[in-house]
Amino acid sequence: MIKYLGSKRTLIPHILKAIGTTPLRVLDVFSGTARVARACKVAGHQVIANDHNAYAATLARAYVQADRHRHHHAAVELVAELNATLPKPGYVTDRFCTKARFFTPENGARIDAVRDRIATMKLDDELEAIALVSLMEAADRVDSTCGVQMAYLKKWAARALQPMVLRVPELSDASRGVCMATQQEASLAVASHEVDVAYLDPPYNQHSYLGNYHIWETLVRWDQPETYGVAQKRIDCKTRKSAFNGKRSMYQALAEVIGQVQAKVILVSFSNEGYLRRDELEGLLSSRGAVTIEDHDYPRYVGARIGVFNPQGERVGQVSHVRNVEHLYRVAVTTDATTA
Ligand SMILES: C[S@@+](CC[C@H](N)C(=O)[O-])C[C@H]1O[C@@H](n2cnc3c(N)ncnc32)[C@H](O)[C@@H]1O
């Protein structure tokens, strides 16, 4: 899995426990790496994983929608073929290895060649997603960042000097109905699907996921966009905004999503570092039913623990604290509280 800010790897056992063991229909509204949605699928639930970014929807298509029994053998052959592709410098090498230094030029040329090869293969949607995830994860293992693509390190990270090698993503099988990946705005996703459990893990501050992971978006879309700034971000990072990244817009956006969720249970994870105050979130959730809360204390993401860096990758400050608390809210929705 890729390095991802706000990934809920360590919270998964608590989320699964809160959902329970009876197989249910689960909607993960902000699926990110898809690791929570995948864990729900493996636990026997029927899952819809949604995220508005293309790279996240691709991760969900591979890890949630695609089944192992249908794709594993083809994926093994495909990854072997992609690993044998001869390096050829192109867009990635130009933007992310020469104009910026996220990968060595040798690995940039590998990424370019593999991505071009995938584009010519005419794979079905799920196998293409598996190939793209394999490439994204391989590139992530040899990047030279602190985990976000707003900046790269001044000196190459040791892992960046290794040659990039693709691996077969660990696919899983659905045991209860077909699982699905969608790429919708959160409000549309909750309005479109009636489920047993809706899990909400929205962004909680100003940092845009598109800006933090712009290279994955470009790699998946392969649209060779105009770029800007030291990090060579896609030009549409300036215009494709999430309401969940604004201090003022977040409350309204979350109120809309919570008000429209069609589920018996709503689970929300939210950090104590988030824009929303605890009483504000509790007010929103209690309008839908009885709320219970668990608190879990975690180390902050690796970049925060390493320090504060400027866009040139130079350390410019210390962080104030190295742990944060993740609140897990559970709402037992009362039928007459549904607003739709
Ligand atoms: C905190 S992350 C989710 C992390 C995920 N639970 C995991 O474990 O990997 C929030 C996600 O919300 C997505 N997102 C942001 N705004 C959105 C919106 N308006 N609609 C749908 N998804 C959105 C981001 O792309 C990001 O992947």
Q: Is the pLDDT of residue 320 over 80?
A: no
pLDDT for position 314: 62
Cβ distance 219 to 115 under 8 Å?
yes
Task: Give 32 Cα–ligand 1 centroid separation in angstroms.
Answer: 5
DSSP string, 157-172: -GGGGSPP-------B
For residue 271, report the distance from its CA to the centre of ligand 1, in Å.
14
Rounded Cα gap, residues 171 and 42, in angstroms: 10
Biggest CA-to-CA distance, the chain? 61
Per-residue pLDDT at 104 exceeds 50 = yes
Q: How far apart are the CA of 79 and the centre of ligand 1, in A? A: 28
Which residues, including other chains, have CB under 8 Å from residue 184's CB and lie 6 or more apart?
A: 50, 52, 192
Contact 25, 197 (CB under 8 A): yes
The helix/strand count (H/E) of the chain reads as: 13, 11
Report whether pLDDT(70) > 60.
yes
User: Mean pLDDT for the chain?
Assistant: 93
Kindly give the distance from the C-alpha atom of residue 300 to the centroid of ligand 1, in angstroms, as a whole number.
Answer: 18
Choosing from 242, 268, 275, 328 the residue with most ligand 1 atoms within 8 A of its CB, the one to mutate for a pocket test is: 242
**φ/ψ (deg, to 5) at 207:** -75, 115
Question: What confidence category does residue 79 fall into, taking pLDDT thresholds of 50, 70 and 90?
Answer: very high
Measure the CA–CA gap between 106 and 232, rounded to whole angstroms.
19
Ligand 1 pocket, residues with Cβ under 6 angstroms: 4, 6-8, 30-33, 35-36, 51-53, 56, 185-186, 201-203, 209, 242, 244
- Output the pTM of the full model: 0.93
Residue 98 has pLDDT above 70, yes or no: yes
pLDDT at 239: 96
Closest among 205, 209, 206 to 324, alpha carbons compared: 205
- Alpha-carbon span 158 to 179, nearest angstrom: 38
Q: What is the pLDDT confidence band of residue 321, given thresholds at 50, 70 and 90?
A: low
Of residues 44 and 321, more confidence is placed in 44
The pLDDT-based confidence of 337 (bands split at 50, 70, 90) is low
* Alpha carbon separation from 205 to 153, 222, 231 (Å, rounded): 23, 28, 20
Dist. CA 196 → ligand 1 center (Å): 20
The per-residue pLDDT for range 227-263, each reduced to its tens digit, is 999 999 999 999 999 999 998 899 999 999 999 999 9
Q: How far is the CA of 164 from the centre of ligand 1 (A)?
A: 27
Cβ(57)–Cβ(51) below 8 Å: yes
pLDDT digits (tens, 9 = 90+) for 28-37: 999 999 999 9
pLDDT above 80 (res 205): yes
Residue 246 in contact with residue 252, Cβ under 8 Å? no
CA neighbor of 207 nearest in space, from 241, 235, 254, 233: 241
Which helix (H) or strand (E) element contains residue 90?
A: none
Q: How many CB atoms lie within 10 A of CB 262?
A: 15
Mutate to test the pocket of ligand 1, among 2, 48, 52, 236 (most ligand atoms within 8 A of CB): 52
Q: Which long-range contacts (CB under 8 A, 24 or more apart) does 184-187 make?
A: 184/50, 184/52, 185/52, 186/29, 186/30, 186/50, 186/52, 186/244, 186/253, 186/257, 187/253, 187/256, 187/257, 187/260
For residue 309, the model assigns a pLDDT of 55
Give the amino acid at 76: V
Ligand 1 centroid–CA 308 distance in Å is 23
Task: State percent of the chain over pLDDT 90.
Answer: 84
Which residue, judged by its Cα, is nearest atom 3 of ligand 1? 32
pLDDT per residue over 125-174, tens digit each? 999 999 999 999 999 999 999 999 999 999 999 999 999 999 999 999 99
Ligand 1: atom nearest CA of 34 is 9
Mean pLDDT of the region 116-130:
97
Confidence of residue 340 (pLDDT cuts 50, 70, 90): very low
pLDDT at 319: 60
Taking residue 223's Cβ as centre, other Cβ atoms within 10 Å add up to 11
